[in-house]
Amino acid sequence: MTAEDALAALAEHWDDVLARLGTARGQELRDLIAQLGGADHTAVVIRITQLLGRELPPDHPVRRALAKGFRFAPRPADWSALRHNLLAAEAAALAGLALSGVSAETAGTGPEAGHGQDGSPGRGAADGVTPDEVLSEVAGRLLRAPALAADEVRLRGADPADPGLIRLDRPDGGQQWPSFQFAPGGGALPVVRTVNLMLGAETDPLGVADWWLGANAWLSGRPSDLIGDVSDELLLRAARRVAEEV
């Protein structure tokens, strides 16, 4: 999924995202959105994806949209319309707050909202990162997880080309298969294959690996750590929640 698709999802979940970000990060997001389509557009989009990727849990719908490929695809997009939709979501949220008697300052949209708890300014938008650097950061984290090589997968009796297995590309041109997918000394775990197929591991290995290896609020832990400790049905239910939201 491209960055513009993720920002479209952000508009749908605006209230929830702001509640999770808090005052300073929420204002940072607003400031970034106001700069979409401007001179620093690409840097702004990357900064938004970094902010949301860091602050939202992996099972959040917007984070899942970001995880769907972890890439910024420069395809034609109506950024003006996206910015308008996001600002409209903010206006609707403010209207609801006004009706409930909550002030803009309390909600984090007042003159001090752009400052941290110590009164210091929030971080700026353009930090000089490139789309390739964002991809490298995400992939690097996932590649550091324990993994098997292709010959080790075959020794386990599994097929390295199995679309039900997560296969990650390495910078050196090689590939690896996260080891949580396999039983100790055995083959691929059926529940892992089922979830991987459900979430589309063949086309989105980074996104699905992030689901398994990231903290999951609904499961109260990392799905990969919970294999065997919780029922397979619970893992499948958690994955279905994500599949239905993306």
Q: Please tell me the predicted confidence (pLDDT) of residue 154.
A: 95
Nearest to 45 by CA among 87, 96, 4: 4
Note whether 102 and 142 are same-domain residues. Answer: no
Residue 158 lies in a domain: yes
Q: Judge if 72 and 175 occupy the same domain.
A: no
Rounded alpha-carbon distances, angstroms, from residue 99 to 93, 106, 131, 242: 10, 14, 41, 33
- Looking at the 3D structure of the chain, how many domains does it have? 2
Segments forming the whole domain that contains residue 92: 3-114
Q: Which span out of 86-95, 101-110, 113-122 was modeled with the highest average pLDDT? A: 86-95
Look at residue 63 and tell me if it is in a domain. yes
39-43, 62-66, 78-82, 157-161: the lowest-pLDDT one: 78-82
Q: Where are the beta strands (DSSP E) in the chain?
A: 147-148, 168-169, 175-178
Q: From residue 14, how far is each of 9, 61, 176 by CA, in Å?
A: 9, 11, 37
- Torsion over CA: 155, 160, 210, 196 (sign): negative
pLDDT band at 5 (very low <50, low <70, confident <90, very high): low
Asked if residue 9 is part of any domain, the answer here is: yes
What pLDDT is recorded for position 1? 40
Residues 10 and 110 in one domain: yes
Where residue 106 falls among pLDDT bands split at 50, 70, 90?
very low
Structural domain includes residue 71: yes
Higher confidence at residue 50 or residue 73? 50
CB 129 within 8 A of CB 72: no
Is residue 189 within a helix (H) or strand (E), and if so which, with residue range? Answer: none
Looking at the DSSP bridge assignments, the partners of residue 169 are: 175
Decide which of 128 and 17 is more confident. 17
pLDDT recorded at residue 156: 93
Asked if residue 234 and residue 150 are part of one domain, the reply reads yes
